[in-house]
Structure 1
Amino acid sequence: MYKIAVCDDEEPVISQVQKLILEWNPETEVSCFSSGEELLQDYRPYHAVFLDIDMKGMNGIETGKALRKIDWEVKIVYLTAYRDYAAGAFSVHAFQYLLKPVNQKSMITTLEEIFRHLKAPRDSVVLDFRTVDGVACLPAEEIYYFEYSNRRVHIVTRAEEYFMVSRIGDVYERMKGHGFSMPHKSFVVNMQHVKNVKGSQIFLDNGIEIPLSQKKQKLWKQALMDYLSKKLEGGRNL
């Protein structure tokens, strides 16, 4: 059973968030608190905590920092009426932040992200990406590729697509240790999902075709062979 806490000093917000959570999964155990002090006093392990930032007494940032001292694993989702609070949320390693009033779509997306992350195998590498819609925690194996276009990076995964502001070179530097390669100046590809290579085209197992730069063909194909050899040898983190 999923266990979620909701902490806000406004009763209508608590009721709305609780309603959205139960609509997503009626069997979820939802505990409600009206202050950070109350949450900390009665705290027990939760999968996630939906936490208001602008509360009377101990605010959400202070409460989040206190939570991190007793539970590093819990996913903290901040509730706020102001976008300016996003930076403060990141300072306590918030999983996500939602603008009030919270709508059903953003709630469902956030809950599914949380529990997809929690269900990932223990030896699976899960990485955080600051997308234009907030933080996305993605298992590396579920990412097909990254594409740079119009000054943004498009992330394509098995379940969702995301956009973030970054340089594709920085993405490659971060991902190359997780079985990703850069066959083209605009693409970083997960070699785990490469199905076939024909000429200047890479075919992924989801049907997508990725261009292979002529200048990179020889080195990239050798990198693919090295990757496959390590995989056959039972190499980890591939």
Structure 2
Amino acid sequence: MFTVAICDDDKIVLSSIQKCIEEFATENNISISVDLYDSGKKLLESSLKYNVIFLDIILQTENGIDIGTQLRKLNAFTYIIYITNYKQYHETAHNNVHSFAFLTKPISKKIIYKQLNDILIYESQNNDPLYIARFITYEQGLTEFNIDDIYFFEYIKKRYVKICSKSGDYHFNEKIGNIDIDMASYNFFMPHQSFVVNLKYVKDIKNYELLMTNGIRIPLSQKRAVLFKNALNNYLEKMLIL
């Protein structure tokens, strides 16, 4: 079941987007549940985790950017799609919340279909065999990872590489430079000579340090700071469907 939340204080907008999503589900023969919220507070109070959230930026007494920031803390993997009349918030939504899309009202059925279709394609790619990596780890021998489950690689004491993944930490013999080359096409980048990180899980950059979505902090070298920030911006722009 694919789950979607729509948060807007305009009942007409809520109903319109809900109708488009339900028609998309019917036409594509997939199961999608849709929940409606007229405030960000109610959405944050929900115990449900959604695959996709359509979120208004200007609610009656709330700021959608603030709501999105809190939602991102609760679930780093939700696709947040902003809906608004205010184009000036585009950069903030893009850089602070890492939104998937930024849609300007009135929103057409065609553009909603495109967002949902792009998300489904992206999800299917994450489960594709091409997105599987295999390493001979100390812990389990031949170990298979979904590449999207890897937060980062760390070179430990010039002896071995640690894989920090959703299923735990693993270790194997390899040069970090080879990892950097092999994983570049999967949106990994080297912020420091001892690390190669998955750009998807970079939550914030403060001074010369990265904050990952799993709470771990990783150093950003001064020499690579500009290159890394450019790589991260390029990745975010690629993920942002206008």
1:179-194 matched pairs, under 5 angstroms:
none
Q: CA deviation at 1:10?
A: 0.7
TM-score (norm 1): 0.51
Tell whether 2:48 aligns with 1:41: no
Q: Which structure has the greater CA radius of gyration? A: 1
How far does residue 50 in structure 1 lie from its aligned partner after superposition?
A: 0.3
Which residue identity does 1:97 align to in structure 2?
F
Structure 2: how far apart are the matches of 1:69 and 1:119?
A: 24
Which residue identity is paired with 2:19?
A: K
In the other structure, the counterpart of 2:33 is 29
1:40 and 1:124, CA in 2 relative to 1: closer, same or farther beyond 3 A? farther
Residue 116 of structure 1 pairs with residue 97 of structure 2: no
TM-score normalised by the chain length of structure 2: 0.51
Deviation at 1:88, TM superposition (A): 1.8
Aligned: 1:85 with 2:89: yes
**Aligned equivalents of 1:105 and 1:82: distance in 2?**
20
Question: Aligned residue for 1:105?
Answer: 110
Cα RMSD after superposing both structures: 2.5
Gaps of 5+ in 1: 126-173, 180-238
Structure 2 residue 72 is the aligned partner of structure 1 residue 72: no
Quote the offset at 1:124 in angstroms: 5.2
Separation in 2, partners of 1:175, 1:55: 44
Q: Distance in 1 between matches of 2:83 and 2:182?
A: 31
> Any idea what the Cα deviations from partners look like across 1:84-129, whole Å, max 9, x if unmatched?
121121120000011111101111111111111122234756xxxx
Counterpart of 1:15 in structure 2 is 15
With over 3 angstroms needed to count, the CA separation of the structure-2 counterparts of 1:23 and 1:85, relative to structure 1, is: same
Q: Secondary structure at the match of 1:18?
A: helix
Q: Which of 52, 59, 65 does residue 55 from structure 1 map onto?
A: 59
Aligned length, in residue pairs: 133
- Structure 1 distance, partners of 2:112, 2:69, is 23
Task: Tell me how far 1:175 sits from its aligned partner.
Answer: 11
Residue type matched to 1:48 in 2? V
Shift of 1:7: 0.2
Percent identity of equivalent pairs: 33
SS at match of 1:79: strand
Unaligned runs of 5+ in 2: 132-180, 187-242
Tell me how far apart the structure 2 counterparts of residues 175 and 57 of structure 1 sit (CA, whole Å).
48
Say which structure, 1 or 2, has more relative contact order (CA 8 Å, 6+ apart).
2
Give the secondary-structure state (helix, strand or coil) at the position aligned to 2:92.
helix
Can you list the C-alpha shifts for 1:160-209, whole angstroms capped at 9, x where unaligned? xxxxxxxxxxxxxx999329xxxxxxxxxxxxxxxxxxxxxxxxxxxxxx
